[in-house]
Structure 1
Amino acid sequence: MEKVKSEGRKVDSVKLVEEYLKNETYKDALLIQSEILRFSREFLLSKGFIEFLPVIISTITDPLNHDVFDAQIDYYGYKYYVTKSMILQKQVGVLVHDKIFSVSPNLRLEREEKYQSGRHLIDFVQLDLEVKNAKREDIMDLMEDLIIYVIKNILDKYSDIILKYHPTLKIPSKPFEKITVKEAKLLYGNDYEVALSKHSEGPVWLIDMLILEREFYDKQNAKDPETLLDFDLIYPEGFGEGISGGERENEYEQIVKRIELKGNGLESYEDYLNIAKEGFLEPSAGCGIGIERFTRYILGLDHVEKSRLFAKAPGKFSI
C-alpha cells in the first residue's frame, strides 16, 4: 500500500514539473512577482520603513474569523503555532522602529471548498506592515500610493507581458472609492464582497466591518461601537479582497473584552495579554497585502495557484 502511495506522489510531482516547463504562465508570473516585491520594498524603504525578518512559529498567532485546521508544533514541552499572521509581532515591532514591514510567510490550512474562490492558498506570503501612532486613513493612503507605484512601474517595464494576460489593467487613480459594510450589504445583500468586486471599475476600500465579523485586535469604533476602524481592499473585475488591515486595540482591558466577546479563551493569548497588561503596546495601524493575490490581479489569472511555483491550494496535493 505504501509503495502505491509513493508512486502516486511521484507521478504527481513529475506532472507538476512538466506543467512548469511547458506553461509560460509560471515563468511570467515569477518575473512579475519578483518585481512586485522589489518595487514594494523600494517604495516602503523610501518612506522610512525598516524591514524585519518574518516569524515562522510563535506561542500566539492570528485566531482568524473562520474555521481552519490548526498547525502546531510541540517542542520540548512547549507549544508553538505556525504563523497565520504576524499581528502580535508587528505591534511589538513598532516599539523598536516606528515604521516596519516584513515579507511574511503564512500557513492557513483552509477547508477544501475554499479552492473554488480562486484566491485561496494554504501557504502564502503577505507584505505585512505596521506604523506606530498611525490612523486607518494613513495606512489606506499609503497603500494607494504603493499599489499605484507598483502597477505603474510594472506597466512601464513589462507592458508586453501585461498585454498578453491582462490588457485591461489600468493604473488606479487616487483616492480609491470607499464603502462601508452596512452600505455594501444594503446594495448587494450578504454576498456583498463578491458583487462589489464584480461591479467596481477600480480598487475599492470596504470599511467599518461589523465587530463580530473580525478578529479581536482590530480597534472598535468609538463613534459606532458595532463596527471597527478597519478595512479591506477589494480588487475590481471579480478578483476579490487583496489587503486587510486597520487600527489596533492596545489597551489591556479592551483587548480582554474583545477576546471574551469573540468567545476565545484568554489562556490562548497569555503572552500577548501579559505584554498588553504591562502597558507596552502603543496605538498603531497596519495591514497585510497578499503577494500572490496581487500577482494574480496584475496578470488577470483565473486562479491564485498559477501565481507562484509549488502553490499549495486547499484540498490539493503539491510538492
Structure 2
Amino acid sequence: MMHSESRKVDTVELVKDYLKNPIFRDATLIQSEILKCIRKVLDEKGFVELLPVTVSPITDPLNHPHFETEFEYYGQKYSITKSMILHKQVAVLVHKKIYIVSPNVRLETEDKMESGRHLFDFVQIDMEMLNASREDVFEVMEDAIIYTIEKIKEKYPDIIKKYHPDLKTPKKPFKRYTVKELKEKYGDNYEKLASLNATEPFWMIDIPLLEREFYDKQDPNRPDVLLDFDLIYPEGFEEAISGGEREHEYEQILKRMKLKNTPFEQFEEYLKVAKEGLLEHSAGCGIGIERFTRWLLALDHVEKTRLFAKTPGKHSI
C-alpha cells in the first residue's frame, strides 16, 4: 500500500530534528540564495516573472506512473499543477521571455521513495522563450548555474566547505551527449552511470520520440528523436533540468497525441488555441530548486533540502 504504518511521520520528532540538525538551516540558506541568483540572471536577461498556476483544467500528462489530483468545482474539473508547460506556451505570446517560481505536485509511486531525487511537492523555476531554440536555453541556464555557484561559494564558503568542499564551478559551454551515445557507452542505466562518471554538469540531448510527451518538438530531420534535453549533474546526482523546443502546429500536436494515446478531450481548450494558429514556436525548461540545493551540498536525499518535505510513499506534515 502507498501509506503503510511504517511510513508515518512523528511530527514532534520531525520538528525537534529541524531545531537541532544544522542541515536544515544550512540547506534553506543555500536554497534562498539559489532563488535570488537565478532570478537575478533571468531579470537581467529581460525575463518577466509571472505568478504560478496552482490548479487548472489542463496540466502536464507526465510520461511515467503517478496518481491523479483531480477535483470538481462548480461543474468544472481541475487538476493540481504537475507543471506549467502548456501555460508557458501561451504566456510567451504575452511576454517573449517569462519565468515562474512554480510549485508542482506529482503524486508519484512509492518506488521513487529511496531515489534521493524525488518529492511529490516540489518547486522549480520554469522559463520559456518565444522563437527560441534549445541552444538559446542552454546559454541562459549555463549562465544562471555558473553565477549561482560562484555567488554561493563567495557568500557561504563555510557551508560549502562543510558539505561539498570539492564543488567545482563549471565552465561554458557544458558538454553535450546524445541519448544514443550514452546508451552505447553505458547501457540501459546510462543516465546514472554517466552522472557518476562526470565531473561537471552536461546536457543530454536528442531524447527518443516515445520517451517524452506530445508537446515536445519532434526533430523534422530526424523524426525518431525530440529537440529535447536534460541537464545532468555530476557525481551521481542525475537530472537537474528538463526541457526542449515545443510543438505548436495543430496537426503535428494531434499526430503526437495519437502516438502517445493522449485523450483529446483532456486538452480540449489547449487544442482550440492550437487550431486557431495562436501558438508559436518556443523553447524552455524547468530547474528543480530542491535538486540544485541537494547537489550543491552533496546531500543524500532532497528531503534534507527543505522544511516539510513530502516524499513519495511517505506520510508528512
Give TM-score scaled by structure 1 length. Answer: 0.96
The whole-number CA distance in structure 2 between the counterparts of 1:22 and 1:148 is 32
**Matching residue of 2:90:** 92
Equivalent position SS for 2:285 = strand
Q: Over residues 221-266 of structure 1, what are the superposed CA-to-partner deviations in whole Å (9 max), with x where a residue is unaligned?
A: 0111000001000000000101000100000000010011001111
Say whether 1:266 aligns with 2:282.
no
How many Å separate the matches in 2 of 1:148 and 1:157?
14
Aligned position for 2:211: 213
Gaps of 5+ in 2: none
Mapped partners of 1:175, 1:272: distance in 2: 35
Counterpart of 1:156 in structure 2 is 154
Residue aligning to 2:187 = 189
The separation in 2 between residues aligned to 1:96 and 1:192, in whole angstroms, is 39
The aligned residue for residue 243 of structure 1 is 241
Q: Does 1:165 align with 2:163?
A: yes
Superposition TM-score, scaled by structure 2 size: 0.97
Runs (4+) of structure 1 exceeding 2 A deviation are none
Deviations 1:43-102 (A, max 9, x none): 100000000000000111001110100011211111001000001110111011000000
Distance in structure 1 (CA, Å) of the matches to 2:17 and 2:171: 37
The one of 288, 300, 316 aligned to 1:290 = 288
Give percent identity, aligned residues only. Answer: 63
Give the Cα–Cα distance (whole angstroms) in 1 for the partners of residues 228 and 138 of structure 2. 10
> Please, which runs of 5 or more residues in structure 1 have no aligned partner?
none
Please tell me the residue identity of whatever aligns with 1:277.
K
Residue by residue, what CA displacement relative to the aligned partner does 1:101-155 show, whole Å, maximum 9, x if unpaired? 0000000001111012110000000100000000011101111111001001000
| Distance across 1 between alignment mates of 2:139 and 2:298 | 24
Equivalent residue, structure 2, for 1:62: 60
Report the counterpart of residue 38 of structure 2 in structure 1. 40
Give the structure 1 partner of residue 101 of structure 2. Answer: 103
2: CA distance, partners of 1:103 / 1:231: 20
Match of 1:135 in 2: 133
Aligned length: 312
CA distance in 1, matches of 2:238, 2:270: 31
Q: Greater helix percent: which structure?
A: 1
Q: What RMSD, in angstroms, separates the aligned Cα atoms of the two structures?
A: 1.1
Q: Distance in 2 between matches of 1:118 and 1:243?
A: 16
